[in-house]
Amino acid sequence: QAQLVESGGGLVQAGGSLRLSCAASDSTFSRYAMGWFRQAPGKEREFVAAITWNGVSIYYKDSVKGRFTISRDNTKNTVYLQMNSLKPEDTADYYCAASRTALTSSIASYGYWGQGTQVTVSS
C-alpha cells in the first residue's frame, strides 16, 4: 500500500519560514487531491490547504492565506507546504493526506494519511 511521509518540520522563531514536504512511496496519489492538515495540542485536527491532482485549483484556510503556499510535483510524487511569516498559533503537528474526491477541506474525504511532522513556532 502506498504511503505518505512528511518531513521538514522543526522549531522556528515567529516570522520565520519552513517548507514541509510530503513524499508518496509511489505514483498512486498522482491523480488524487492532496491536503495539509494540522493538529495543535488539545485541539481537533483542522484543514490548512488542499490542491487538485493537476495543481489547477487550490484552497486555503483563511488564517493562512497569503502566508502558506501549497504545491505539488507529480514527477517526484511530492506535495509541499511553504510556510512564511509563521506565528506561534501555527504550532501544531502537520499532516498530509490524499483524497479521491474533488478539492475539499473535509477530513472525512481523505482516506490516506501520513504520520505527521511537528512544527513549533516560538514567540
Q: Which amino acid is at 44?
A: E
User: How far, in Å, CA of 100 to CA of 32, rounded?
Assistant: 5
User: How far, in Å, CA of 65 to CA of 69, rounded?
Assistant: 8
Strand-pair category, 10-13 with 117-122: parallel
Residues counted in the chain:
123
Question: Could you list the pLDDT tens digit for every one of the 123 residues in the chain?
Answer: 889 999 999 999 999 999 999 999 989 899 999 999 999 999 999 999 999 999 999 999 999 999 999 999 999 999 999 999 999 999 999 999 999 987 899 999 999 999 999 999 999
Cα dihedral sign for 8, 97, 101, 90?
A: negative
